[in-house]
Structure 1
Amino acid sequence: MPSLFPALAARSDRPALRFGDRALTHAELADAAGSLAARIAGARRVAVWATPTLGTAVGVVAALLAGVPVVPVNPRSGERELAHIIADSAPSLVVAEPGAVLPPALAALDRVDAVTVTGLPPAPVAAGTPEPAPGAPALIVYTSGTTGPPKGAVLPRRAVAATLDALEDAWQWTADDVLVHALPLFHVHGLILGILGPLRRGGCVRHLGRFDTEGVTRELSSGATMFFGVPTMYHRIAEALPEDDALAKALAGARLLVSGSAALPVRDHRRIAAATGCRVVERYGMTETLMNTSVRADGEPRAGTVGVPLRGVELRLVDESGDLIEAYDGESVGEIQVRGPNLFTEYLNRPDATEAAFTDGWFRTGDMAIRDPDGYVRIVGRKATDLIKSGGYKIGAGEIENVLLEHPGVREAAVTGEPDADLGERIVAWIVPAHAEVPPSADELADHVAAQLAAHKRPRTVRYLDALPRNDMGKIMKRALGG
């Protein structure tokens, strides 16, 4: 298998990484990561304390150069979750940014600091270590664990390369692109797409450390061409745009704006497009599959969809009986199943869960979708929490949420189902009003949905909240709502 990072092997002098005032070229990264790789070579696995720092990026690249599987660790993990991840993955050592204070579960491991001093002599590991086999594990990324302890998805080197190369095709991603983002570095979006993606292309990433619109404006106004964010970030951008001409100008000059990890509300799509003339591209992926679909850079940036399958990815919809849904009618809801080189190989130490996740070689995502006549995929929710069976209909919560968010009196919305003696399940809307003192009435919201979709999709119950429960990535935690 060719190198994951050709620009490192070529010792390019182009910028590679920048975190605040700390930066490395590809050649400098090759030296820093190569020296660290020489120190950790032969380790069984390495945990990386994944703070949003230069040391985290160098540590991950070093482990990949050394052929050692990486376990990115969320610095905000609770004690029980962290103890489970360390016991389950059994890393030989931990790599961390110098000076980082580690919790007891990691402090017991041998520690290697990710020193990023430039001017080090080239390390043999960086230039001469044979590239591991395509199926060799690259990263073990732990899932959210909503139904039990987090599971470690083993991602092979083949999957990382296949996804990043498919995105090169879909997004016309080149070495001339400069990416700016502020995503955490312990998951697929921020680490694999946001750090390893630019490095594989031979381009550059500028990490903001933490998100703010001032940082986005500054970087997109000074050479950055792409921005990756989650819906919470884009919502804050949309809210700021009416009063921030500099932000609007900066976004208008971007080549590509990408949103992922959850659906971006159509209302925010429209507000950003109206203010900047630039449309946000959505893609769809998950830990176990990396990226499956995307709106292409040369395609129609249609709000509310996640585009078409990426190169090399096969995608199908199946009904509850496992039968294929052949229709491309924008109505028929089915579970997404995928196969291709982008898939994980197993859940670490969980052969039972691995077996249950596949059917005839297809990975069962648990995500529900419909397909438009031209093949664009629209996610309507999770099978476990977002498929509502009401009055004989199968209804996706996501499409109702998008319509609710178009109501001027709604700031945030989530939709769940709960048991109903007559309907089987009734649709429940959880609403954060735009103005708490004058929330829209339940009847008003029901009529709004019925007018846009269909009468059977209207919420039967409306509950008002001050805020929706969300995780670190901004995803709504519906189980906390009782959904």
Structure 2
Amino acid sequence: MSLLKRLSESPDERPDAVRVAGSALSGAELLRCAAAVADRVHGLERVAVEATPTMETVVGVVGALLAGVAVVPVPADAGAMERRHMFADSGVAALLAARGSDVAPGGPPVVPVDLAQRSDRTWPEPEPERAAVILYTSGTTGAPKGVVVSRRSIAACLDGLADAWAWTPDDLLVHGLPLFHVHGLVLGVLGPLRHGSRLDHVGRPQPRRYAAAGGTLYFGVPTVWSRVAADPDSARALRGARLLVSGSAALPAAVFADLRELTGHRIVERYGMTETLITVSARADGARRPGTVGTPLPGVRTRLADERGGPVPADGEAMGELLVAGPTLFSGYLNRPDADAASTAGDGWFRTGDVATIGPDGVHRIVGRASTDLIKSGGYRIGAGEVEDALLAHPGVREAAVIGVPDPDLGQRVTAYVVADGVTGPELVEFVARNLAVHKRPRAVHLLDALPRNALGKVQKKLLG
């Protein structure tokens, strides 16, 4: 089966089947534009693509995939050092960019993507195990690693999400997410092209653009949904949608509640990583509870492990590292057998590095990263997310991040970084102590103007402390 099944087999003839930042193409015209790119890159192993929120990015990615060439998306704001590393590490033979783009010198040869070019040539579907994308992700140390994701893994993920979300050709997907991550590119572009739904990428994910799009299915990260909730008129305009989906970071319970009030929707949360794609999600026909990310997709298995690799009970309370196995997993890190070995727990299990709980009903709750979000203080194991939720319940708190800071007596000291109005640090400590066990209260609260975040809105905790 073709990775881009609907696009390849029955392309949508509607003139606005795919819209990106105001530029629109029918599915049939997108296929012909992409085929012209495929003609030029066929036979190469890997190409980079300037991942801007443009139709040229979509055409370039689709063209490479049609030709069986692996795509390395390059963030539009990547610095010179990042670009050099990605080009050298991946060994890309060319860089696809919009014709006339101002591309920095020193990279691979540029192949211009011209939306005026068309081709009617077809190419045989590559083997399912062939690499589709190589996504670069930063760890806690060293240069970013290339995550090799196969065509088979992407197909399994997208089909699992179609099952969970009742995703059909009748949908219009709306989002404005970056096209160099799993969320925006794999789910947000390849998903519609596989399932036949229309796509409206609004350029920037601004509340009023979401409101004006008239979609049935919306993707956003918590920062986007927080801004939508803060714009009541835009939020109410989403009442006609079928499903609102949040991912890439934890959605604050207060935002969940605000969106439910304004839009009438209980937002769907899901969980995944670059290395695993999406593995767990709430379902369109199932319960959706704030702070939880649902149950495994078809074919995906999960379990919890303690620090020695032993089993942790699925009782909804015990915390352990989340291990994942199944068809959505990546093929490995490019040129990094050491990282491959460190990330596996044997028998096909991938170590996510995330701490979670699993309830008796199979519903997962992500506590956070084992390295930053599981705090060991005074003999207690404290989830940073629980303390963050308690802080965010205060009406004066807009943002909160909690980490463990080394402490000679406690081992780690619960420390909060907060963006707030009209409240002091001691008042917030007392507020948390009234709502959680006293040992979970922050020992220190630092008031900031803003929390450091990446392009997907995730708080960069390694920049705190």
Map 1:30-429 onto structure 2 (within 5 A). 30-106=31-107, 109-117=108-116, 120-123=118-121, 125=122, 129-220=123-214, 224-241=215-232, 244=233, 247-328=234-315, 330-360=316-346, 361-429=348-416
Q: Distance in 1 between matches of 2:227 and 2:38?
A: 39
Cα deviations by residue, 1:411-450 (Å, 9 ceiling, x for unpaired): 11000001222221110011111x2xx32332x3223223
3-state SS, counterpart of residue 374 of structure 1: coil
Q: Counterpart of 1:431? A: 418
Deviation, structure 1 residue 7: 3.1
Contact kept in structure 1, 2:425 and 2:444, CA below 8 Å: no
Specify whether residues 249 and 238 from structure 1 end up closer, same or farther in structure 2 by C-alpha distance, changes over 3 A only. Answer: closer
Contact kept in structure 2, 1:380 and 1:396, CA below 8 Å: yes
Deviation, structure 1 residue 147: 1.8
Specify whether residues 11 and 179 from structure 1 end up closer, same or farther in structure 2 by C-alpha distance, changes over 3 A only. Answer: closer
3-state SS, counterpart of residue 231 of structure 2: helix
Contact kept in structure 2, 1:170 and 1:310, CA below 8 Å: yes
3-state SS, counterpart of residue 236 of structure 1: helix
Contact kept in structure 2, 1:16 and 1:199, CA below 8 Å: no
Deviation, structure 1 residue 70: 0.4
Unaligned runs of 5+ in 2: none
Unaligned runs of 5+ in 1: none
Q: Distance in 1 between matches of 2:387 and 2:381?
A: 13
Contact kept in structure 1, 2:129 and 2:151, CA below 8 Å: yes
Specify whether residues 210 and 248 from structure 1 end up closer, same or farther in structure 2 by C-alpha distance, changes over 3 A only. Answer: closer
Q: Distance in 1 between matches of 2:433 and 2:156?
A: 42
CA RMSD of aligned residues (A): 1.4
Deviation, structure 1 residue 320: 0.4
Q: Distance in 2 between matches of 1:341 and 1:28?
A: 32
Q: Distance in 1 between matches of 2:382 and 2:164?
A: 30
Q: Counterpart of 1:469? A: 452
Q: TM-score with structure 1 length normalisation?
A: 0.93
Q: Distance in 2 between matches of 1:69 and 1:121?
A: 20
Specify whether residues 121 and 418 from structure 1 end up closer, same or farther in structure 2 by C-alpha distance, changes over 3 A only. Answer: closer
Q: Distance in 2 between matches of 1:116 and 1:176?
A: 26
3-state SS, counterpart of residue 442 of structure 2: coil
More deviation, 201-210/12-21:
12-21
The one-letter code sitting in structure 2 at the alignment partner of 1:326 is: P
- 1:441 equivalent in alignment to 2:425: yes
Deviation, structure 1 residue 3: 4.2
Contact kept in structure 2, 1:265 and 1:405, CA below 8 Å: yes
Report sequence identity in percent. Answer: 54
Specify whether residues 332 and 200 from structure 1 end up closer, same or farther in structure 2 by C-alpha distance, changes over 3 A only. Answer: same
Contact kept in structure 2, 1:92 and 1:110, CA below 8 Å: yes
Deviation, structure 1 residue 121: 4.6
Q: Distance in 2 between matches of 1:467 and 1:21?
A: 31
Q: TM-score with structure 2 length normalisation?
A: 0.97
Specify whether residues 272 and 12 from structure 1 end up closer, same or farther in structure 2 by C-alpha distance, changes over 3 A only. Answer: closer
Aligned positions, number: 463
Cα deviations by residue, 1:150-184 (Å, 9 ceiling, x for unpaired): 00000001110000000000000001100111101
